[in-house]
């Protein structure tokens, strides 16, 4: 089988980057990052480490949720002037609970069709690793921060008849597990994928009540993908 290189010219690229293990970068992603005139990065410090590791010398500029409204037009103007711009989040795939949608939408309105460079994603990693049925699933990103709103949010998903995936931070994972137990019951089957692809990756599966009993006093570390089996 012959795999042909996509040789079309590009102006704007949305590039997936590793979520922990630097070896997960694709050859295509590296080529695009090296070809770019500018990399718009959610976290320039993190992207600088990736670029240094792979000898990518492209100039970096910050592009995140706090400045994307003010910088999107400037970046698109640079593209219209002939520059190539690659957009990356701090890890994983842009737009999936990360910046990127605004520049995608505005670019398309200006007739600029972005090149999408697929690759690592905490969501797809969690889907494969969870051990739950995923022929039907839904993804909702980060749940609400406050307990009352979080419980109402979980209640709204009760009858979705699918496996639900969420992202959660180390600071709120314990509260989320307690709310899952309260809203759906202690026998609800869940999976926790912690620090996916990193050195201390951990996968916990079982009934939420049992996991709380085993880990209720644990000091958690890292970021989480949470799978909840809500199938009938």
What's residue 6's pLDDT? Answer: 53
The structural domains of the chain, with segments of one domain joined by +, span 12-117, 122-229
Cα separation, 225 vs 193, in Å, equals 5
CATH class of 12-117: alpha beta
Q: Please state the pTM of the whole predicted model.
A: 0.89
What's residue 9's pLDDT? Answer: 86
What's residue 4's pLDDT? Answer: 47
Rounded to a whole number of angstroms, the CA Rg of the chain reads 20
Element (H, E) at 30: helix 27-35
What's the distance, CA 53 to chain centroid? 21
**Residue 163 contacts residue 189 (beta carbons within 8 Å):** no
**Residue 225 contacts residue 126 (beta carbons within 8 Å):** yes
**Residue 19 contacts residue 121 (beta carbons within 8 Å):** yes
What's residue 90's pLDDT? Answer: 92
What's residue 1's pLDDT? Answer: 46
What's residue 188's pLDDT? Answer: 98
Enter the DSSP assignment of 43.
S
CATH H-level, domain 122-229: superfamily: Tetrapyrrole methylase, C-terminal domain (3.30.950.10)
pLDDT in tens, 116-160: 999 999 999 999 999 999 999 999 999 999 999 999 999 999 999
**Alpha helix locations (H) across 39-172?**
44-53, 68-80, 101-109, 122-129, 147-156
Segments of the chain with pLDDT less than 70: 1-8
């Amino acid at each position: 089988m012959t795999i042909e290189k996509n040789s079309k010219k590009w102006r704007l690229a949305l590039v997936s980057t590793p979520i922990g293990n630097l070896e997960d970068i694709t050859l295509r992603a590296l080529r695009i990052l090296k070809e770019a005139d500018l990399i718009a990065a959610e976290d320039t410090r993190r992207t600088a480490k990736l670029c240094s590791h792979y000898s990518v010398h492209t100039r970096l500029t910050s592009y995140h949720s706090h400045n994307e409204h003010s910088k999107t037009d400037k970046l698109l103007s640079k593209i219209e002037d002939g520059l190539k711009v690659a957009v990356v989040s701090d890890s994983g795939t842009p737009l999936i609970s990360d910046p990127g949608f605004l520049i995608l939408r505005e670019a398309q309105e200006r007739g600029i069709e972005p090149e999408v460079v697929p690759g690592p994603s905490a969501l797809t990693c969690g889907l494969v690793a969870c051990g739950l049925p995923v022929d039907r699933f839904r993804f909702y990103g980060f749940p609400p921060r406050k307990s009352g709103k979080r419980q109402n949010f979980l209640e709204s998903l009760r009858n979705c008849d699918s496996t639900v995936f969420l992202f959660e931070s180390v600071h709120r994972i314990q509260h989320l597990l307690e709310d899952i137990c309260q809203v759906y019951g202690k026998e609800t089957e869940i999976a926790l994928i912690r620090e996916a692809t990193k050195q201390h990756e951990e996968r916990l599966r079982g009934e939420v009540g049992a996991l709380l009993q085993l880990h209720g006093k644990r000091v958690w570390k890292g970021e989480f993908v949470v799978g909840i089996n809500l199938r009938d």
